Amino acid sequence: MKAIWFENGTAAWKELPLPVRKPGESLLQLRVAGICNTDLELLKGYMGFAGVPGHEFVAKVIESDTPELVGQRVVGEINIPCGQCRMCQSGLSNHCLTREVLGISGRPGCFAEFFTLPDANLHPLTGKVRDYDAVLVEPLAAALRVVHQGKLEDPVLVVGDGRLGLLVAFALRHSGIRTFLQGHHAKHLEFAKKAGVLRDPGGRYRTVIDCTGSPDALDEILHRVEPTGTIVIKSTFAENPTLNVSKIVVDEITVRGSRCGPFPEAIEWLEHRETRDMLAAMRHEEFPFEETLEALERASQRGVRKVLIDNLG
């Protein structure tokens, strides 16, 4: 099969054997994939990654030990836990200490014609859910994770109006949280305004959420949060950012990481027209699977929203 391979800062096509599924896993055929900022950071060297990237997808189940899954369109959760360790037994399997992560750590990703995932990770889609919407279930779930981690004090500022920032701001606003957005792209800010997200007027906030994808932005973010406030970091970086720890101590600021979120809820959100309209506004361009290298180049350009890889043809 054909797949994209990242290694030593380069992306290239590679011919690989068809993956062999383990018991309890499904063989999946890619339909649509999304390019995430984490994919671009992996290409830059994040986590020393080498292999097949990609973790946002809609796929068709080709083989499975679960007969009712075969032939269905699915999305899938990206963490493959051991199921036995203390974190798994505590209901925190996304933080399993020996987990594999699709397209990120230990498990080849979806930028390939075929790939595998455990049946337990898969969520079938109904006929009315479109592939181009469902491919964004994973990042939408990650945005919803911010809402579920704990009460966020109003007002909330989202810093960064790129792909993730728009989704996080949308998820917050439609969860009833007064949300402001700081960014540099007039078109993106206009999308957010239509969804009820306000433009940042300046000043400090009780909660500031980093969606910049830039390690250099964290120092500025420290100056946007009130003393005793909270910073939520959604970005992943190839570089290690510098952070003014003294200011965190003196201002008694809480810093929280935020990662993967609830797939079933994200899928339910697709039933609402305002969600589908927002996702449609986020999509920037689609490339055929054969042009995945060009799609990666496009996604890396400043101001570009979500780029999709289409393997439907």
Query: What's the pLDDT at 236?
Result: 80
Query: What's the pLDDT at 308?
Result: 98
Overall average pLDDT of the 206-221 stretch? 89
Amino acid identity, residue 226?
E
Overall average pLDDT of the 272-293 stretch? 93
Overall average pLDDT of the 271-293 stretch? 93
Tell me the per-residue pLDDT of 112-171, one tens digit each, with 9 for 90 and over. 999 999 999 999 999 889 999 999 999 999 999 999 988 888 899 999 998 889 999 999
Residue 20 lies in domain: 2-139+262-310
Q: For the chain, what is the mean pLDDT? A: 93
Percent of the chain with pLDDT over 90: 79
- Cβ-Cβ contacts under 8 Å for 48 (sequence gap 6 or more): none
Classify strands 73-76 and 56-64 as parallel, antiparallel or unpaired.
antiparallel
Same domain, 186 and 228: yes
Establish if 144 belongs to a structural domain: no
Q: Tell me which DSSP letter residue 74 carries.
A: E
Query: What's the pLDDT at 151?
Result: 82
Query: What's the pLDDT at 227?
Result: 96
Same domain, 26 and 134: yes
Q: Which of 215, 242, 257 is the last residue of a domain?
A: 257
Tell me the per-residue pLDDT of 177-194, one tens digit each, with 9 for 90 and over. 999 999 988 888 988 898
Query: What's the pLDDT at 242?
Result: 78
Classify strands 156-159 and 73-76 as parallel, antiparallel or unpaired.
unpaired
Segment of 51-60, 143-152, 239-248 carrying the highest mean pLDDT: 51-60
154: phi then psi, degrees, rounded to nearest 5 = -70, 150
At 199, which CATH number?
3.40.50.720
Q: Is 201 left (phi over 0), alpha (psi -120 to 50) or beta?
A: alpha
Overall average pLDDT of the 58-67 stretch? 96
Same domain, 173 and 269: no
Residue written as token pair 């540099």: 184
Report the DSSP beta bridge partners of residue 124: 74
Question: CA 240, CA 108: separation in Å to the nearest integer?
Answer: 25
Q: What is the pTM of this model?
A: 0.91
Overall average pLDDT of the 211-239 stretch? 88
Query: What's the pLDDT at 39?
Result: 96
Same domain, 248 and 271: no
Same domain, 243 and 279: no
Same domain, 211 and 301: no
| Contact by Cβ (8 Å): 146, 209 | yes
Query: What's the pLDDT at 163?
Result: 86
Tell me the per-residue pLDDT of 4-27, one tens digit each, with 9 for 90 and over. 999 999 999 999 999 999 999 999
- Number of structural domains, the chain? 2
Amino acid identity, residue 243?
L
Query: What's the pLDDT at 86?
Result: 95
Amino acid identity, residue 230?
T
Query: What's the pLDDT at 213?
Result: 81
Query: What's the pLDDT at 113?
Result: 98
Residue written as token pair 């940042």: 200
Same domain, 96 and 36: yes
